[in-house]
Amino acid sequence: MTRLRDYTPARVDLGRTGASVPTRALLEFQLAHAKARDAVHLPLAVHSLVLELKQRSIWSITLASEARDRDEYLRRPDLGRSLHPESKKLLIPLHAEYDAAFVIADGLSALAVDRHAVPLLDLLLQNLDWRIAPVAIVEQGRVAIGDEIGQLLGAGMTVVLIGERPGLSSPDSLGAYLTWQPRPGRTDAERNCVSNIRSEGLSYAVATHKLLFLMNESRRLKLSGVRLKEDAGLPSSIGQPVLNAQVPSDI
């Protein structure tokens, strides 16, 4: 007989033992909770990310937010939205007219970034014939830090790949946030998000398809956020790499 649990990883139809859930369900919950906590506190593997990008001939630069450590980052979200002064100095010489800048930030799950950021970015760049800024890898960073990075680099848009808040069935979910004309003070209403990028969620192929659509439309319409609608649908062959993105001819 088909059960609801066959269609979702959510904790439904757990069964019962007296007034409690079965021991197996309790232990699975405790394990999931531990994985979520670990994902939040796990440090970003910066050196591994730099090496992976270098192996793919992708130039990167390592930056830091104003949060001094993980504990302060979790207590003070505002510090994760601003660059450390020394990191600002590193970006100033790199200023140019870039079409886009990609930012990789740990967010609330470095595990998600370690697993998914580089493969997704690699697939995106294979399908973009744009002027791309050096990839910024940020420790203790939140989404809004991409606004400052994009402005300092002179990028037309930023795409921030960041670890999302872990759920009890998704400790490694990656999100991608697109912002047109980034600058400090941009609000969440001025961004577009593609979320739940992971093996059990949105595949790299589908996420890339949606992001390329949003990036091209953002560039064409010169906006992002609630006024930019994502109706890309699904790629014709989910299991295959998407075709090269075409920049609109009137750009």
Residue 74 pLDDT exceeds 80: yes
**Backbone phi, psi, residue 77, to 5°:** -55, -30
Nearest CA to 210 among 169, 181, 238? 238
Sign of CA dihedral 132, 138, 143, 146: negative
Residue labelled with tokens 């609608």 = 229
Q: What is the DSSP letter of 245?
A: P
Band of residue 20 on the pLDDT scale cut at 50, 70, 90: confident
Distance between alpha carbon 180 and the CA centroid of its chain, in Å? 16
Residues near 62 by Cβ (< 8 Å), separated by ≥ 6? 46, 50, 137, 139
Token pair of 223 as six digits: 């906006």
Residue 248 pLDDT exceeds 60: no
Condensed to tens digits (0 to 9), the pLDDT of residues 214-238 reads: 999 999 999 999 999 877 676 765 5
Stretch 70-96: mean pLDDT: 96
Band of residue 111 on the pLDDT scale cut at 50, 70, 90: very high
pLDDT at 242: 39
Domain 44-221 annotated CATH 3.40.50.11240:
yes
Where are the alpha helices (H) located in the chain, listed in sequence order?
Answer: 23-41, 46-55, 70-75, 85-91, 110-126, 145-153, 204-221
Condensed to tens digits (0 to 9), the pLDDT of residues 152-161 reads: 999 999 999 9
Mean of all residue pLDDT scores within the chain: 88
Q: What is the pTM of this model?
A: 0.85
The count of residues in the chain is: 251
Q: Count of alpha carbons within 13 Å of 130, Cβ hemisphere only?
A: 28
Domain ranges of the chain: 44-221
Condensed to tens digits (0 to 9), the pLDDT of residues 202-213 reads: 999 999 999 999
